[in-house]
A and B are shown apart, each in its own frame.
Chain A
């Protein structure tokens, strides 16, 4: 089982519903966000291209944050999801420095926090909050090892990319182009 997320850049309109839904679902402290919207404009007027992405922790397969954690607080769980054990985290912030996507932050309660792929919802068979709420159905979450899952089909039929693959972390959030 390998959980992953695919975000269709052609459907994402940058409404930021996913940002707000995540904050509500996970009690993200005020002033922090676990995911964010990026808009990238390329080209010269009038030939402009716009790509809109919803970004978050990429739950990398070769995560530097897991490797550098001295207490194993940052670890892999089922499906390759990267989670932080609040009671093991000492707040050394090595993982924050090691994330090339700057996806982590220090929670006011002292431990380090980030997107968890809403694993508490996934374990109950539901979708992550951001995927559930997306008004254009731009986000797909599922099991890559299941050949018939929506995400596997999307990655077979569409062109996709990941962010800064040259950072070498093997991210598992894919952007359908």
Chain B
């Protein structure tokens, strides 16, 4: 499926702000077997004094920009054409849960996509006893690692309500779980936390979701902004599997990946240092259409 994607993130400041330096992760990546980027371009307004592109530890494209004068507004626009390859609904070749630890131990690597980095706590996902207890309950009877992952995805969708007003970008996952409400970021962090408590390596994927569904299907939640979902390592034969807890579905041809990491900390679309005297407003618009 070929998509045309547009993203616009803007910041408005009450008084000219010393916005300084930013790190952007909003460019989609070519991932063999998953997606191919045919073209992608980034437009920053005003034009930054410095702009530098590089690839980070996890293989994501990041753009460093710097401004030298105080600004009243900054706008980041990304446009891309991305071919999302059809994903095979693979057979479940994941091991029984009790054999996963051994398979993890047999990967002697700490590289970006080796499972080891995705089990310990990460900056935004600490341990949470309630989530662990909840997860232990919902996977009862699941006989494989993949079955456990799907059970958690299903249960999260059942127990959590999508609510764009309940949380903010920096709301801790504990709070979102206590409320049982939140947006894709909260769903994703809670599931990562749940899976890690079960010994399943789990990470965060940021990306886009097609805006308008194919005829006769429902519009998906999270399509009007950047989206997030979960990846879980299901053993040496199955590898990484991506699931979307907000919509209770495997991430497939409706999903286009921007960045992957342990949690939001590793993939945040805009990181920046700024000195603000007054307030700021930010808005985000996403459009992803099948071509």
Chains A and B form a bound pair = no
A-to-B contact residues, CB < 8 Å:
none
Please give the residue numbers on chain B whose beta carbons come within 8 Å of chain A beta carbons, in ascending order.
none
